[in-house]
Amino acid sequence: MSSNNPEGLKAVRLMMVLSSLSPLFVLWAIRGLSCVADLWLWLTCTILVVIPNLVLLWRIRTARQRNDVRTLTIGKAEDHRGDLLVYLFAMLIPLYDVNLSSPRDAAAALVALLFIVFLFWHLHLHYMNVLFAIRSYRVFTITPTQGELATGEPFVLVTKRIALQAEERVRAYRLSNTVFFEPEAGL
């Protein structure tokens, strides 16, 4: 968002980024690391899968309880279903396939993972979550033309709608200042 409207909810955004990496942590737990005892790897991977996803669910629940709803006016809407495939092939598979047989290899993979977390954070890609895809949600990037968010800055809408029309008004819960969640069409 613009400099006078910072993204906010930094801890939630970080948890959303980590939750988007859940499939990688599951794969690493299954695959194992020869330089880390299975017990510690499983514990770490379980924490990295469960905690961020619980925080995401907590944020959705909190937004509902606090009625943190925004009315969004759709300008231009772009469907980003294809981004999930790019995400899976460009990030998950190479990191999964990394040779993790030595502490140096594991450290290099960790630095690569931190770089990806930084990029997801910096580029506001914290909406990339396989749990949304599993539950048949679609991700749209919206460029607003009017309404609350008519700053010209795009925002993301996670919804079960198949398509969005220009000038359509949508009521959605705020997960962050640039990510909104519509649990069902016609909220």
Calculate the average pLDDT of the chain: 80
Contact in structure between 95 and 113 (CB atoms under 8 Å): yes
Percent of the chain topping pLDDT 90: 22
Does position 1 have pLDDT exceeding 50, yes or no?
no
Contact in structure between 42 and 32 (CB atoms under 8 Å): no
Cα distances (angstroms) measured from residue 152 to each of 4, 61, 74, 123, 149? 13, 28, 12, 17, 8
CB atoms within 10 A of CB 100: 23
Average pLDDT of span 63-72 = 92
Percent of the chain topping pLDDT 70: 79
b (16+ CB within 10 A) / e for 1-20: beeeeeeebeebbbbbbbbb
Domain boundaries, the chain: 10-182
Nearest 5 degrees, angle CA 52-CA 129-CA 60? 60
Using 50, 70 and 90 to split pLDDT, how confident is the model at 187?
Answer: very low
CB atoms within 10 A of CB 102: 12
